[in-house]
Amino acid sequence: MADIYQSLNQEKEKTALLSIISNTFLVILKLIVGLALGSISMISEAIHSGMDLLASVVAYISVRKSAEAPDDEHSYGHGKYESISGLFEAILIFVAAALIIYEATQKIIEPTSEPLNSTLMMAGIAVMGISALSNAFVSSRLMKIAKKTESIALESDAWHLRTDVYTSVGVMVGLVLIQLTGIKILDSIVAICVALVIIRAAYELTMKSYKDLTDYRLTDDEVQRITGIICDHESDYVSYHGLRTRRAGPEIFIEFHLVVDKLVSVEQSHDLTDHLEEDIKLEFPRACITIHVEPNTGENAQNKSFCDNMPQSRSD
């Protein structure tokens, strides 16, 4: 199991590093063309990518930190470093959006009268196309590894870059329209639209990170999968109750009380809990599971009827 964790952590680090390299390239490219063209929407995209670069660095650091083994000061591991990273990245997106809106508004209030440079416009369109394709590839890779390793840091980074795909396409369309119509204000309008899309993504990331940091329970679907596994073994115990769950970055914590018959030995109870833990970890490999065994008193026999309503063949 330790080898599997080490392999997953190495995969996470390599993917986070890929995001840093990609964002560095795009920031430089967008700034050079955006400043030469004088396009506020392109410069806003460079700012956005700059924030993404900083976020990617933070994600890389948090991924490495969260991979560290539990110690005396962090007996439950370092998983919440990824949740903190996700919240920090969301704040960065809000800041980027505010800067974009400010610059775009200033451009609307005080429009420039400089003539358009067709060559630079085409260069800007090409850069936005390259940005969209690059971010589509990297974000897809990040999201795949994030789901595989249950990494909120990588998932946050993936959403950043996925947002960049949409905004890059938006800016590219705006530049094409300016090239066709000569209406420069379209540049600022597109920039503001980019900012609104960014704000929405930032809000969603904030809520996700906030839930992890405040020990919010797992999703309904995840809880149902856990109860389904428990119910798969309903013939081996009397009842269960007190199911509690929470997440800390890639780590999941699950605990519940298992009510067994008074005549069941300690050894049999131990074997049953081991079996339950193994089955739950097949579904949630990074889960830390605590099962409290207690004898049946009649009053603590709850939730057994719940299993009658669960779908069949859950372990198939």
Do 246 and 273 fall within a single domain?
Answer: yes
Q: What is the mean pLDDT of the chain?
A: 79
The answer to whether residue 312 scores a pLDDT higher than 60 is no
Question: Are residues 177 and 283 both part of a single domain?
Answer: no
- Domain of 236, in residue numbers: 220-309
Boundary of a domain, candidates 180, 213, 246: 213
Q: Please give the Cα distance from 143 to 137 (Å, whole number).
A: 10
pLDDT, position 65: 80
What's the N-to-C CA distance of the chain in angstroms?
A: 23
Q: Where are the alpha helices (DSSP H) in 110-232?
A: 118-149, 152-181, 185-213, 220-231
Same domain, 208 and 227: no
Query: What stretch of H or E contains 260?
Result: strand 251-260
pLDDT at 314: 44
The domain boundary, picked from 183, 213, 243, lies at 213
Predicted pLDDT of residue 311: 56
Side chain identity at 228, as an amino acid letter?
G
Please, which pLDDT band fits residue 297 given cuts at 50, 70 and 90?
confident
Higher pLDDT, 207 or 316: 207
Do 244 and 141 have their domain in common? no
Q: Note whether residue 116 is domain-resident.
A: yes
Q: Which of 49-63, 114-128, 208-222 has the weakest average pLDDT?
A: 114-128
Assign residue 225 the CATH number of its domain.
3.30.70.1350
Same domain for 269 and 204: no
CA angle 237, 238, 240 (to 5 degrees): 90
Please check whether residues 175 and 28 belong to one and the same domain.
yes
Number of domains in the chain: 2
User: With 50 as the cut, is the pLDDT of residue 315 above it?
Assistant: no
* Cα Rg of the chain (Å, integer): 25
The answer to whether residues 179 and 266 belong to one domain is: no
Give 36's pLDDT tier (boundaries 50, 70, 90).
Answer: confident
- The 10s digit of each residue's pLDDT in 153-171 is 787 778 777 777 877 787 7
